[in-house]
């Protein structure tokens, strides 16, 4: 299960100001991660229509294949807290290239991942993988395209709990960059604590609180609007 808070930033000035503020607060410099995110679906976009995502992320010579389940908050942008089923596995460079060249089935690669130990995580995996298979059994996969993301990660301690603040500059095209900050949580009960911290930071910097819809949906709406 993926649980995260997502806040939209209006421009690069807010983005830079927030990074500087968090670096000063934490006493640590942001770590830059350069990512390329590629997406896969059937030719009829069966996954998109069901609210599911298949993504290959390349990050500093690592290749991670991820499936994400439905997420109403992530799709509508009505709330900063997004909770959704997630399954991911690290794959080799050769497997990643085969995916991009449409020579390998992404679901088969996901099934090779380690089986979770927690009973609820096992149920979640079965639910998500079953949904993926049901939607795609009679269909081939095709790469939909990709975008680049520059992520600056800053560890921030709040009440003696360390959270990763991920400040993203996402380049959907040469002329379109979105800015946002994401904070992954271990449990939804941590949300009020982190929300209060973010509110304090944003107030100090004059940044309005706005939720950020998922990057995948913004990408789909630009490139596959059906």
C-alpha 187, offset from chain centre: 17
What does the alpha-carbon distance between residue 165 and residue 7 come to, in Å, rounded to a whole number?
A: 11
Is residue 76's pLDDT more than 50?
no
Q: Beta-carbon neighbour count of residue 133 at 10 Å?
A: 11
For 114, residues 6+ apart whose C-beta sits below 8 A from its C-beta are: 89
The CA–CA distances, whole Å, from 48 to 76, 188, 224 equal 14, 26, 9
Identify the pLDDT of residue 78.
43
What does the alpha-carbon distance between residue 173 and residue 168 come to, in Å, rounded to a whole number?
A: 15
Print the SS3 string covering 186-207.
Answer: CCHHHHHHHHHHHHHHHHHHCC
* Intra-chain end-to-end CA distance of the chain, in Å: 28
Is residue 220's pLDDT more than 90?
no
Q: What is the pTM of this model?
A: 0.89
Identify the pLDDT of residue 120.
86
Number of domains comprising the chain: 1
Which tokens go with 73?
Answer: 């908050």
Which CATH number do you get for residue 185?
2.40.320.10
Are the C-beta atoms of 129 and 111 separated by less than 8 Å?
A: yes
Identify the pLDDT of residue 73.
42
Question: Which residues constitute the domain of residue 79?
Answer: 2-223
More confident residue, 118 or 34: 34
Identify the pLDDT of residue 114.
87
Q: What is the pLDDT of residues 122-140, one digit of tens each?
A: 998 999 999 999 999 888 8
Identify the pLDDT of residue 224.
57
What does the alpha-carbon distance between residue 29 and residue 37 come to, in Å, rounded to a whole number?
A: 25
Q: What is the pLDDT of residues 147-181, one digit of tens each?
A: 999 999 999 999 999 999 999 999 998 789 999 99
């Amino acid at each position: 299960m993926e649980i995260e808070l997502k806040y939209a930033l209006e421009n690069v000035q807010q983005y830079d100001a927030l990074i500087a503020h968090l670096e000063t607060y934490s006493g640590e410099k942001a770590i830059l991660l350069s990512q390329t995110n590629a997406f896969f679906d059937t030719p009829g976009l069966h996954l998109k229509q069901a609210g599911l995502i298949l993504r290959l992320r390349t990050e500093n010579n690592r290749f991670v294949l991820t499936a994400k389940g439905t997420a109403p908050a992530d799709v509508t942008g009505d709330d900063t807290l997004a909770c959704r089923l997630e399954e991911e596995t690290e794959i080799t460079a050769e497997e990643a290239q085969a995916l991009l060249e449409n020579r390998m089935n992404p679901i088969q690669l996901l099934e090779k991942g380690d089986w979770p130990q927690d009973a609820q995580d096992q149920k979640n995996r079965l639910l998500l993988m079953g949904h993926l298979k049901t939607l795609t059994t009679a269909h081939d996969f095709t790469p939909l395209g990709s975008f680049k993301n520059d992520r600056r990660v800053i560890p921030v301690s709040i009440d003696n709990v360390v959270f990763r603040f991920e400040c993203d500059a996402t380049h959907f095209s040469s002329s379109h960059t979105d800015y946002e900050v994401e904070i992954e949580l271990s449990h939804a009960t941590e949300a009020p604590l982190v929300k209060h911290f973010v509110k304090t930071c944003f107030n100090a910097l004059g940044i309005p609180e706005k939720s950020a819809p998922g990057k995948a949906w913004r990408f789909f709406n630009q490139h596959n609007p059906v």
